Amino acid sequence: MAATADDARKKIFDRIRAALGVASLDRVRKAAVERRLARHPRGTIPARAKASREEPIALFTDMLRKQGADVLRVASGKEAVAAIASYLGTCNLPPRLRMGKDPLLAALPWREAWDIERNFGAAEANDRATLSRAVTAAAETGTLFLVSGPDNPTTLNFLPEAHSVLVAASDIVGSYEEAFDRLRAIYGEGRLPRTLNLISGPSRTADIEQTIVRGAHGPRRLHVLILG
């Protein structure tokens, strides 16, 4: 019988336990982990992450731009749709988007951009532009928090040439710790989504001859819209 993912996972953990010299049912270690997870201890939070309401938004914008993202604040859904249409045109991309079933994105006034063709579901090889929603964001590093699921399939984050992300201004917080507090408030203790992607700019690498190459592991362009 073919080995399952659970079988492979068990073998990996068995090897780790053997290397550490611990038993699989070490109740003391298990209790220590459970206590730590229940306490949500804070790390050292940088001073720039401790700010008033508008300051995190400004910091978030500045950090993302420094990492090569295009960032625009929009006051309404109508402005958001217009900005997406304009961005596709500026990037010489066809007026076509792939997106998930996110209710906030679905509620945007798409009739204002009637020429944009929208397709739904996981990204496909020929998709050049996608749209996702970030559930929260950490200003300290300009990082978007995107969760997996039918509302925002993970493939939208990695396969296209250009990735647009909408985040509500009210969902931008100062630190990572606050962002994870938001996630726990949404999903509950110990019930995080299967995958959480943290995105702080377009894909780029300098692994080859120390030359910056965009799009090596994901989208070459990141377009962030702050709503509100």
Q: Are residues 53 and 34 part of one domain? A: no
Stated pTM of the model:
0.79
CA angle 31/34/38 to nearest 5° reads: 140
Q: Are residues 192 and 82 part of one domain? A: yes
- In angstroms, the CA 70 to CA 165 distance is 10
Q: Are residues 173 and 144 part of one domain? A: yes
Q: Are residues 61 and 20 part of one domain? A: no
Q: In the Cβ-directed half-sphere of 146, how many Cα atoms lie within 13 Å?
A: 27
Residue 1 lies in a domain: no
Q: Which domain holds residue 125?
A: 47-227
Look at 165 and 112; give whichever has higher pLDDT: 165
Residue 219 lies in a domain: yes
Per the structure, the count of domains in the chain is 2
Residue 3 lies in a domain: no
Q: Are residues 141 and 113 part of one domain? A: yes
Reported in sequence order, the residue ranges of 36-142 that DSSP labels E, i.e. its strands, are 70-74, 96-99, 117-120, 129-133, 136-138
Residue 41 has pLDDT above 60, yes or no: yes
pLDDT for position 202? 79
| Of residues 105, 66, 92, the one with CA closest to residue 202 | 66
Q: Are residues 126 and 214 part of one domain? A: yes
Q: Are residues 191 and 80 part of one domain? A: yes
Q: Are residues 54 and 32 part of one domain? A: no
Q: Are residues 29 and 55 part of one domain? A: no
| Of residues 142, 139, 127, the one with CA closest to residue 219 | 127
CATH of the domain at 129: 3.40.50.10420
Q: Which residue do the tokens 């001859």 mark?
A: 209
Q: Are residues 28 and 135 part of one domain? A: no
188-201 mean pLDDT: 86
Residue 152 lies in a domain: yes
Residue 176 lies in a domain: yes
- In angstroms, the CA 96 to CA 93 distance is 8
- In angstroms, the CA 85 to CA 88 distance is 5
Residue 148 lies in a domain: yes
What b/e string do you get for 23-53 counting C-beta neighbours within 10 Å, with b at 16 or more? Answer: eeeeeeeeeeeeeeeeeeeeeeeeebbebee
- In angstroms, the CA 184 to CA 226 distance is 22
Residue 178 lies in a domain: yes
Q: Which helix (H) or strand (E) holds 28?
A: helix 27-39
- In angstroms, the CA 144 to CA 154 distance is 13
Tens digit of each residue's pLDDT (9 = 90 or more) over 157-180: 998 999 999 999 999 999 999 999
Q: Are residues 109 and 24 part of one domain? A: no
Q: Which residue do the tokens 């749709």 mark?
A: 81
Q: Are residues 114 and 69 part of one domain? A: yes
137-146, 148-157, 187-196: which range is least confident on average?
187-196
